[in-house]
Structure 1
């Protein structure tokens, strides 16, 4: 679990494209020095798992001695050139449904380590499970702040509300405006202070750039519950299970 409070800006060092997946290497500026095999890192809001086992690169990745798997398309710096990098394997579905597929070597990305149990909770509940990919429609830059309008998939619009929470490219933000249900296209707006623009990738985001969208998990569970039209009676479910088990025992 994450909170949407970005800890560091990383840089994409390399992307090795395979048939329907990719291996992405990120220079995480020391954030992952103690992150070993199986550790989690949110990259632009996408929860990825480290495949690093202590050396600079995972089995089968490109190195100075080995050009990589036959048929793989490699771009950017070699993984061995980045000290203590974060390396993750990304399947094709993730590449297609998030903005990770559009990343190129040299791109900056928002990074957040998973939240420790005893840590301070400063943002909102962020799972790192991106619900859809939107794009920046427009931005208005003022003297001390900026307003960004992001187009989102229409199916996500019901989970948005003014003053509600949303994670955009992994950043926990408060919605300042949302589209009306009658509008053909869905969008949300956020207001960003200089600190957010400086310490996240939003300072460089241009119209047309993809934006990973994760709506509030509480809104998703609420909608799921309401879709059944009634509150499930967990006591009845439990007793029914026990009765079934007792009947089987006496049979």
Structure 2
């Protein structure tokens, strides 16, 4: 049985716990830490896991440790648990779910040789539809990487990438749910401007977005063909698409993705010492 520690029981941590248990992981094999004892009690009562407030205690004997805290909290957390992980009888794999902290920085904060995996998740993991891009560090072997991928598969899809690709991955999946939410918001507002009630407009847009996503994921047909299949010559859809193209929608997404990737790189760059 794989023993798992989840350090940080916020939304991402809880989504991971929920998915793991739904996939058959024994709740008794999961240790979760929180700064607030009340939150830990809530998770214990909901999922039957072990709730703790001591991170070092939580990682004792753990096969896999998921770091589900804000990026700014990662360095101190790694320093706190480094010696305990080094003292484990198993080769504990540390998995960071935080953006912007490079593998090298995390490996340097731990005892030499500790296997570290960096993951870029996205928020649809909260409903079991996440995309987790996984970049292994220098000391991770294939068996350990397979274990991490299996565990993450309980909350969505998993793809292995090079760490150098993670800034682009952030733009394509880490941040992209927000782009789709913005498009949905704009379409709902457009429906209201056409005279629909907001409730009706939201239902129409939400259902269409879910259906389009399912077609993309399940049909095996590329998006260009799917779009063309809806676009009758001189029809209503073509009229709308022409307006979107003339408004520069493709260029806007190119620029948005570039801005996102650039900002991701900035967040992951080492701080410049003050002169």
Given the two structures, how large is their TM-score scaled by the length of structure 1?
0.27
Q: Which has the higher strand share?
A: 1
Specify which structure has the bigger relative contact order, considering alpha-carbon pairs within 8 angstroms and separated by 6 or more residues: 1
Given the two structures, how large is their TM-score scaled by the length of structure 2?
0.25
Q: Which has the higher helix share?
A: 2
